[in-house]
Amino acid sequence: MEILYEGFDLNSFWEECEYAEKEYVCEPFTDQLVEEIEIELGYKLPPSYIELMKTQNGGSPNNTAVPCNEPTSWSDDHVAITSIFGISKNKSWSLCGELGSQFMIDEWEYPEIGVYICNCPSAGHDMVALDYRKCGNNGEPEVVHVDQESDYKITFLASNFESFIKSLKHDDYYG
């Protein structure tokens, strides 16, 4: 069995934040709920996503800057996130909440490439997604930035969710 997040401190990953607690942090989940969410989304969630959500089910990370190799509307060398959606249906900002992944596809016309998992500071004008186009609905998705303001330009961020999480830098890193 693969060891996830080996050498990475998940205990200090999440920021203590009253707003995130209210809007993003969901109740602990069961295996049955994960299955229900996967069926509703139409995609199998990566084990590394599920493992991170066991430490806290959604919220704001301490490190919010994601390096990238091409310019986006946010910056020439990185994008920023504000939160990660929890595995739930109950909070508005959860995977299957009223403002979750499917809402972004249906209402904001984001491309149907997978599951939208992170909000960015632009309040919906860009998002981070699990991109299943190369791996199929049950494979290990890449992580991408989707920029509504640039005609939904898709920018590669990481080859998998665990790499994405490990790549996050404190916002001070970029000045």
Q: What is the pLDDT of residues 67-121, one digit of tens each?
A: 999 999 899 999 999 999 999 999 999 999 999 999 999 999 999 999 999 999 9
**Paired tokens of 18:** 């009253």
DSSP bridge pairs for 132: none
Phi, psi of 154 (to 5 degrees): -105, 125
DSSP annotation of 62 reads S
**Does residue 173 surpass a pLDDT of 70?**
yes
CB distance 158 to 143 below 8 Å: yes
Superfamily of domain 10-174: SMI1/KNR4-like (3.40.1580.10)
DSSP bridge pairs for 128: 118, 145
Q: Per-domain residue ranges for the chain?
A: 10-174
Q: Token pair 């640039």 is at which residue?
A: 150
| Closest alpha carbon to 97 in 143, 58, 71 | 58
Task: Give the model confidence (pLDDT) of 118-163 as tens digits.
Answer: 999 988 899 999 999 999 999 999 999 999 989 999 999 999 999 9
